[in-house]
Amino acid sequence: MVNKVTPDTMLSASRLPGVMGISRYQTPNDELEYSIRALKGEERRDIGNEAMAWGNMMEPMILEDAARRLELVDLVTDHPTARFHDSLPLCCSLDGTGDGRGQVITTDPAAGIYVIGQDSIQLDGVGVLEAKLTSMAPEDMPPLWRGPIQLQAQMDIVQAKLGAVATLYRGTELRVFVFAPHQATVKKIAEVARDFQRRLDEWKETGLVDYYPPQDDEKWPDLRGPFPIIPVAAVLDDSCIERAEKILAKRKEIKKLQTDLDSDEEKLKKILGAAEMGIAGQYQIIRSTRHYQAQPAKMVPAKEAYTIRQSTLTIKPVKA
């Protein structure tokens, strides 16, 4: 759609990646503040750019070619009003819809068709089409933030049994990614929508914003298959032993290099003494001075408890 038709005062499908913490452009708190500004009656900020303008212009062509490749009938590319979920505080706009006529299709890279999460899919009834334009290189699966999460919400809102993200890569290659409803994702979307609305309702009642804590994007479902059950301890193959030993050896080497680096820096600092700069052959050795202004005491606001997964592995011997 060229013009945004969904209300800013509630969560929409296109904003889900931001709220879920997987967007490249918006954080959960960006989206929360966006809706709060709308509830205050503030004017919508212009977020348009040239890439979005080209996406809008190319959208009908992308949808028409996707429908041709999937052999859909009754293609509709004009959906001027928002659609609302019948039981969740969630809405969406639609780029296009088309009838799959019950045909069964499989992945066909030569035709630019990729069935995601299963070997084949029956195009049963009217499905949802979402058009995307990107400068990225072609992929076998689009990232969650560029269509799949949005599409899952759209399908749930209109109760469609199929959907497709049609992505034009670099203006030269169209790939059509076909999805069935993914129940683990749909469940997560419902949780996110209810929690987002709870935060908006709390602001309406108290005037206080319940901001989101840092998020761990590893917790969202994988649309390629069922939502994984994470074991307490996984049994790894022998190749992981060698990788673990290499990591430990490299960490030991890094620690030694850091110790040597710190020692050499301390020696140079002592030689410099109070001087800010020294000349050693072709090198300038500088120890700058940074000045800080006085700051008033600050109260650190309370934070709710939250859990994240550490980015660094801990490797240690197993106790006998």
For residue 58, being part of any structural domain is answered with yes
- Residue 255: the pLDDT is 87
Helices marked H in 40-125: 50-70
- Residue 234: the pLDDT is 52
**CB under 8 Å to 216, separation ≥6 — which residues?**
21, 307, 308, 309
Reading phi first (left if > 0) and then psi (alpha if -120 to 50, else beta), residue 302 is in beta
pTM: 0.67
Q: Sign of torsion, CA 134 15 222 218?
A: positive
Which residue has tokens 């319940």?
210
Tokens of 173: 């290659």
- Residue 303: the pLDDT is 56
For residue 183, being part of any structural domain is answered with yes
For residue 309, being part of any structural domain is answered with no
- Residue 225: the pLDDT is 54
What is the domain count for the chain? 1
Which residue has tokens 């290499």?
246
Tokens of 28: 């959960």
The answer to whether residues 162 and 130 touch, using CB atoms and an 8 Å cutoff, is no
For residue 283, being part of any structural domain is answered with no
For residue 128, being part of any structural domain is answered with yes
For residue 104, being part of any structural domain is answered with yes
- Residue 293: the pLDDT is 74
Query: Which residues of the chain fall short of a pLDDT of 70?
Result: 1-3, 46-48, 215-236, 292, 297-316, 318-320
**CATH number of domain containing 91:** 3.90.320.10
| Buried/exposed 171-207: b ≥16 CB within 10 Å, e otherwise | eeebbbbbbbebebbeebbbebbeebbebbeebeeee
Domain range enclosing 209: 11-218
DSSP letter string, 210-238: -PPPP--GGGSPPTTSSPPPPPSSPPP-T
- Residue 228: the pLDDT is 37
| Model pLDDT for residues 2-51, shown as the tens digit of each residue | 467 999 999 999 999 999 999 888 999 999 999 999 999 998 776 667 77
Residue count (the chain): 320
Q: Is 191 helix (H, G, I), strand (E, B) or coil?
A: helix
Tokens of 145: 């933030």
Beta strands 90-92; 83-84: pairing state: antiparallel
